[in-house]
Amino acid sequence: MKKLMAEAVGTFWLVLGGCGSAVLAAGFPELGIGFAGVALAFGLTVVTMAYALGHISGGHFNPAVTLGLWAGGRIGANLVMPYIIAQVVGGMLGAGVLYFIATGAPGFDVHAGFASNGYGALSPAGFSLRAVFISEVILTCGFVLVIMGVTDVRAPAGFAPLAIGLCLTLIHLLSIPVDNTSVNPARSTAVAVFAGGEWMVQLWVFWVAPLVGGGLGGVLYRVLLSDNTPKTVS
């Protein structure tokens, strides 16, 4: 239960801090924090919560990471669904708090997107489904590879949360214009539920592509780069 609580709290913080920076601060008033600020905010949410709660649950805060770590032999299958459910619940709570705050501003329209992910007309720069799908698969794969690498027993101790947060920042710097960056189905679901409409119609992409990428990253590290003695957490 403590592990599930940690995953829920960490994902809550990621959605509130990352999506909140996009909704509340990215373009405010006329000169907000911009894409770079939003990217850094997402990275900082992971750094802070990974240091705070990583020793309890492993600090996944992301269904694609959980699936990738299972595929990579780092966690047992018994944790996969409970972790994913906890992450989605935590993300929804974070989006709920963000919605409560955002609706305190005059003229706020949640149906304009609410930091949701999308392709085509819902992509910030109009990127196609094909481009978005490939982007999500490759970037999530790379994210899981980094996580697997920096948490390997051979890696320098104590720096994993920082490296993971910087990796997530880099991913956002690259792909916010593509689809507002997901690489995290719980984050995508949390805000899409509030935005509704076409944002919910396109949500399947931001489950399928990150999960494929996460699983691929875990398998690649396990097969090609691991020392073949993973310590499975159950």
Of 85, 80, 89, give the one whose Cα is nearest residue 58.
80
Checking if the pLDDT of 30 tops 90, the result is no
pLDDT of residue 228: 59
The first and second tokens of residue 132, run together, are 């978005």
Checking if the pLDDT of 233 tops 60, the result is no
Q: Once rounded to an integer, what is the mean pLDDT over residues 170-186?
A: 97
pLDDT tens-digit profile of 160-169?
999 999 999 9
Q: Band of the pLDDT at 27, cuts 50, 70, 90? A: confident
- Rounded to a whole number of angstroms, the CA Rg of the chain reads 17
What does pLDDT average to over the chain? Answer: 94
pLDDT of residue 157: 86
Give the Cα separation of 75 and 122 in Å (integer): 35
pLDDT of residue 234: 47
pTM of the full structure: 0.93
Which of the pair, 29 or 128, is modelled with greater confidence?
128
pLDDT of residue 160: 95
pLDDT tens-digit profile of 110-166?
999 999 999 999 999 999 999 999 999 999 999 999 999 999 999 998 899 999 999
Give the Cα separation of 101 and 105 in Å (integer): 8
Q: Band of the pLDDT at 230, cuts 50, 70, 90? A: very low
pLDDT of residue 229: 52
Pair 118, 199: CB distance under 8 Å: yes
Phi, psi of 164 (to 5 degrees): -65, -45
pLDDT of residue 121: 96
Percent of the chain with pLDDT over 70: 97
Q: How many Å is the maximal CA-CA distance in the chain?
A: 56
Which of the pair, 219 or 232, is modelled with greater confidence?
219
pLDDT tens-digit profile of 38-87?
999 999 999 999 999 999 999 999 999 999 999 999 999 999 999 999 99
